[in-house]
Amino acid sequence: MKKVEDYIKSIPDFPEKGIIFRDITSVAQDPEGFHLAISEMEKKLEGLDFELVLGTESRGFIFGAPVAYDLHKGFVPIRKKGKLPRETISETYDLEYGSATIEIHKDAIKPGQKVVLIDDLIATGGTTKAALNLIERLGGQCVAMVFLIELAGLNGRDKLPGCNIQAVVTYPGK
């Protein structure tokens, strides 16, 4: 029986020498791989009480929306700046070379609402920390974060102390 990691393609020296890029498009394009990935993410949420699934642009949409659908939860997108049509709040965070800003609709989360954040990858934790800040600013409670892949060598968890972080596949390096 195949595991999720069997569907992930590892591309050496991309985008630069010494980096191993973990390509999840190979997971999503294979019906069995995609189904397995969604099922494994859902298993990480068993027994948790929550109302909404949030996904960060764009690969968080790929995995978050089917999880929300299967579990009969609402889905809320966290998008890049300027992509949402109604009133938003935003959070800017640092990238390796520059910064980025993400936004969420101001009315997306009610105070006290329990949410789960889903994305394809946790690496340095910058995007995830920014998303958590948005959740907390709206009064939401993040009960879990579920990732398809964790690059443990980049220490993203360190930016999220006390968070319930789950990964389907963990790679020790970068």
Marked catalytic residue, from 96, 136, 150, 157: 96
Is 96 marked active-site?
yes
Is 42 marked active-site?
no
Q: Is 117 in contact with 131 (CB distance < 8 Å)?
A: yes
Considering only the C-alpha atoms of the chain, give the largest distance between any 2 of them, rounded to a whole number of Å: 47
Distance, CA of 64 to CA of 43 (rounded, Å): 13
DSSP 105-167: ETTSS-TT-EEEEEEEEESSSHHHHHHHHHHHHTT-EEEEEEEEEEEGGG-GGGGSTT--EEE
Closest C-alpha to 56, from 87, 9, 101: 101
Marked catalytic residue, from 59, 91, 136, 157: 59
Q: Which residues are catalytic?
A: 59, 96
